[in-house]
Amino acid sequence: MSQLKKFSPGDVIVSAEHLSKQYRGCLALNDVTLNIKKGQLIGLVGKNGAGKTTLIRLLTGVAWPTTGHISVFGSVNQKEMETNLSRVAAMIEQPALYENMTATENLMTACILNDVKNPMDGYIRDKFEFVGLPESYLDKRPVKNYSLGMRQRVGIAMAMIGDPELMILDEPTNGLDPEGIRQIRELLLKLNKEKGVTIIVSSHILSELSKFASSYIFIDRGRFVEEISAEDLESKAGKVLIVKTDNNAKAQEVLLAAHFDAEIVKDSVYVHNIKEPAEVLNVISKNSLALLGFKEEENSLEDYFVDVVGGK
Amino acid sequence: MKRLLKLYFYRLVHEKPFWIIFAIIGLAGIVTGWVVGNEYIRSLDPHGMTLFDTYGLGSYVAMGLSFSFSLSSLSSIVSVGVPGLVAAWLQLGFWGLIVITLFIGREWKERTFRNQILAGQSRLSIYFSSLIVCLVIALANLLVFETLMLVTGSLFGVPFFTARQLADTVNLGSKFAVSITLLFVIYLMMACAATSWSYIIPNSWGSLGVFYASCLALLFSVFIVDDIATRNHTSLYLLENFLPGYQSAKLMAFDYDNAITSYKDMGGQGYVYYMPQTTAGHATPFILTTVFSNLFYAAAMTFLGCFSFLKRDLK
């Protein structure tokens, strides 16, 4: 077996060029180009049907692109791509488990595939403990009797077998309770920080993603929209100023004229992406509007997401 | 590929349907051995019925499915009398191939192919590893049936060969070897077809239905070819030689140029047939055609299954 190429933090480990995927005439992914660097913890953000799962399926070799090229860990051809996929683990939509087997047997299948030596000497037990399911090691029930949350954890434990360098998880917190979500978040952070595992996580719970992702990839209607680091997002997303005046309609009008992103929500005017609140307040006072109150809030990832995908 | 084989055998051990069908086939072997050893049945054959010389019994068992009926005939022309019980087994084994579609169907249903791809395995390796396991499943069925049948039959004092067969010392070994080879080839073809359909149709029961339907279609395609051939396309008659239906019909008609048969009139209850005896040298082209056609079907089905799997998007 050839020696696998080594990568340092910051090196591009996955590169996709002009990826498109068509399903029965429907373009699920349209000309997506992106690079994933070693060490990143990426939040893959998009609405339902945006193409997140399709992108993950292409990156993991489960589906073929209609056009475009993918390179995983520097692969230059299909054979290398197949070999290098052994460095990738993924959980797509739902864990791929043999329903008739126990959780330990399922992990055993992953150990066989990844050529783990002596997996019953604590290796499998460690993985169960890592995902908060220590009792599953001796559980004789087939996984078909497990709850959705337990299956998700078994799926994550399976993904960890073979110590992958890249983990791609599609909605990994589906079906988990808040405590479970917190545990998975901490687990992913731990894998990323301590073991240097590059992680791509798609999730609908954007507030959850914002708690651990180091960068985000936004896709919408099959198109790559933007890749942004968490730091850039923070500065770019800015703040929202909520003001109340004696004439909100006029306030919105003058703010829009002054190139502010203003909208009326209930009895207030929301001014998005502001740098300095004083600028907004100046515009209001210059236009002889009575300021009844104001408050400043941080713009959330959800707000930014809505902005970039044009959902407003 | 080694890891995949290890995985599939690990999985097989945990497959309940495999053990259930294995047990049914084993039980059938025991029952068959006992039936052959039954005094009444043995009394039907004044020359001494043997385990290998029970064509009549086999044909009754096989009557439910023409395909295995034809298979019994294929074996009979070259064997030392194989076919009866082997035909019975073939029918059981034929239905036993359900394990193959369930085995591969589970990978589709539970989307576990992706685990194998993400372990760095190519789709070609996945296909051929599962094919090997499916062949093992088919041959394991054969082995368990044969062994239990022979052991049970022996316990009832049934001789393996008749005195007449034992007297044919020149051809006994070669006929037996050819018979076993033919069985192997037929099994290879059926296991390849079942595996292929399991990859083409990602649903256990769907692929099983299509597999059995395709076997019957292959058997009865001879009527279509024959019909076309009679309409001034006489060259198509040649094609018939490669169709199981024709091979079967040729044997069942007891082609008198090549083979003779013996039977016992049961007095209003039909006849009990014994194996046709081949005339030395005449069977060879038939054997070769049978082997070639079965290998051709196996290769064609494997190509189709492989092609479908290589091109398909997995879930």
CATH of the domain at A142: 3.40.50.300
Does B119 sit within 8 Å of A96, measured CB to CB?
no
**Closest residue to A98, CB basis, from B11, B121, B313:** B11
* Residue A7 included in any domain: no
Indicate yes or no: CB of B14 within 8 angstroms of CB of A105.
yes
Q: Answer whether A138 touches B (CB < 8 Å).
A: no
Say whether pLDDT at B235 is over 90. no
Residues A151 and A176 reside in one and the same domain:
yes
Q: What is the predicted pLDDT for the residue at B129?
A: 94
Helices B283-311, B66-78: axis angle to 10 degrees equals: 130
For residue A65, the chain B residue with the least C-alpha distance is B313
Nearest CA in chain B to A81: B120
Q: Which has the higher per-residue pLDDT, B186 or A84?
A: A84
Give the mean model confidence (pLDDT) for residues B134-158: 79
A55 touches chain B (CB under 8 A): no
Residues in Cβ contact with A306 at an 8 Å cutoff, skipping those fewer than 6 apart: A312
Domain boundary among A183, A205, A234: A234
Q: What is the DSSP letter of B64?
A: T
Residue A180 included in any domain: yes
B311 with A84: Cβ contact below 8 A = no
Same-domain status, A156 and A242:
no
Contacts of B183 (CB under 8 A, 6+ apart): B75, B82, B86, B90, B142
More confident residue, A18 or B84: A18
Find the farthest-apart pair of alpha carbons in chain A and give their distance in angstroms, rounded. Answer: 78
Is the CB of A242 inside 8 Å of chain B's CB atoms?
no
Q: How many domains does chain A have?
A: 2
C-alpha distance from B140 to closest chain A C-alpha (Å): 22
Nearest CB to B14: which of A64, A84, A100?
A100
CATH code of A279's domain: 3.30.70.270
User: Final residue of a domain: which of A234, A264, A287?
Assistant: A234
Cβ–Cβ under 8 Å, residues A72 and A85: yes
CB nearest B114 (choices: A83, A96, A101): A96
* Domain membership flag for residue A97: yes
Domain that holds residue A20: 12-234
Q: Does B3 reach chain A within 8 Å, measured CB to CB?
A: yes
Are residues A149 and A288 both part of a single domain? Answer: no
Among candidate residues A44, A43, A63, the one with its CA nearest the CA of residue A52: A44
Whole-number pLDDT of residue A156 = 87
Of B3, B110, B122, the CB nearest to A113: B3
Count Cβ–Cβ pairs < 8 Å, chain A vs chain B.
Answer: 81
A79 at B interface, C-beta within 8 A: yes
How do strand A41-45 and strand A268-274 relate by DSSP bridges? unpaired
**Integer Cα distance of A3 and A68 in angstroms:** 27
Among A238-252, B42-56, B265-279, name the most confident range: A238-252
Report the share of chain B in percent with pLDDT over 70: 58
A20-24, B125-129, B191-195, B243-247, range with the lowest pLDDT: B243-247
A228 with A243, same domain: the answer is no
Residues A79, B122: C-beta atoms closer than 8 Å: yes
In this structure, is residue A5 part of a structural domain? no
Q: Are residues A23 and A166 in the same domain?
A: yes
Mean pLDDT calculated for residue range B252-276: 42
Question: Which residues in chain A have Cβ-Cβ distances shorter than 8 Å to B106?
Answer: 98, 100
pLDDT tops 50 at residue B254:
no
Quick check: A82 and B311 CB within 8 A?
A: no
Looking at the structure, do residues A144 and A254 belong to the same domain, yes or no?
no
What's the CA dihedral at A163, A167, A170, A174 to 10 degrees?
Answer: 50
Q: 């050529």: which residue's tokens?
A: A115
Alpha-carbon dihedral A264, A270, A276, A282, rounded to 10 degrees: 30
Chain B hits for A90, CB-CB cut-off 8 Å, are 114, 118
Q: Are residues A115 and A250 in the same domain?
A: no
Q: Is A57 on the interface with B (CB under 8 A)?
A: yes
Residue after which a domain boundary falls, among A181, A204, A234: A234
Integer Cα distance of A73 and A17 in angstroms:
14
User: How do residues A132-178 score in pLDDT, each as one tens digit?
Assistant: 888 888 888 999 998 888 888 899 889 889 889 999 998 888 777 78
Mean residue pLDDT across chain B: 70
Question: CB distance A85–B118 less than 8 Å?
Answer: yes
Does A6 reside within a domain?
no
The residues in A 111-130 lying below 8 A from B, measured between CB atoms, are 112-115
Residue with tokens 């992914």: A29
Angle at Cα B246 formed by Cα B245 and Cα B252, nearest 5°? 90
Asked if B106 and A98 come within 8 Å (Cβ–Cβ), the reply is yes
pLDDT on residue B130: 93
Q: Within this chain, do residues A295 and A222 fall inside the same structural domain, yes or no? A: no
Q: What is the pLDDT of residue B74?
A: 35
Domain membership flag for residue A177? yes
Cβ B106–A115 below 8 Å, yes or no? no
Q: Are A181 and A276 found together in one domain?
A: no
Within this chain, do residues A254 and A165 fall inside the same structural domain, yes or no? no
A62 and B114: CB-CB below 8 Å?
A: yes
Of A79, A92, A99, the CB nearest to B110: A99
Identify the segments of chain A with pLDDT beneath 50.
1, 312
A chain contacts of residue B315, beta-carbon cutoff 8 Å: 62
The residue of B107, B115, B125 whose CB has the most chain A CBs within 10 angstroms, and thus the best one to mutate to test that interface, is B115
Q: Lowest-pLDDT range, A188-202, B197-211, B235-249?
A: B235-249
In chain B, whose CA is at the least distance from the CA of A60? B118
Residue A4, in any domain of the structure? no
Residue at A297 is within a domain? yes
Q: Which residue has the higher pLDDT, A276 or B48?
A: A276
Question: CB of B110 within 8 Å of any CB in chain A?
Answer: yes
B121 touches chain A (CB under 8 A): yes
The answer on A289 and A221 residing in a single domain is no
Residue from the list B14, B119, B314 with its beta carbon closest to the beta carbon of A86: B119
The shortest C-alpha distance from A105 to chain B (Å) reads 9
> Which of A112, A124, A165, A170 should we substitute to test contact with B (largest number of B Cβ atoms within 10 Å)?
A112
End-to-end Cα, chain B, rounded Å? 22
**What's the pLDDT at A278?**
84
A243 and A217 part of one domain? no
ipTM value of the model? 0.77
Residue B198 — pLDDT band, cuts 50, 70, 90? very high
pLDDT band at B50 (very low <50, low <70, confident <90, very high): very low
Judged by CB atoms closer than 8 Å, whether chains meet at B119 and A90 is answered as no
Q: What is the predicted pLDDT for the residue at A294?
A: 86
Interface check A90 vs B, CB under 8 A? yes
Q: Where are the alpha helices (DSSP H) in A211-292?
A: 230-237, 248-257, 277-286
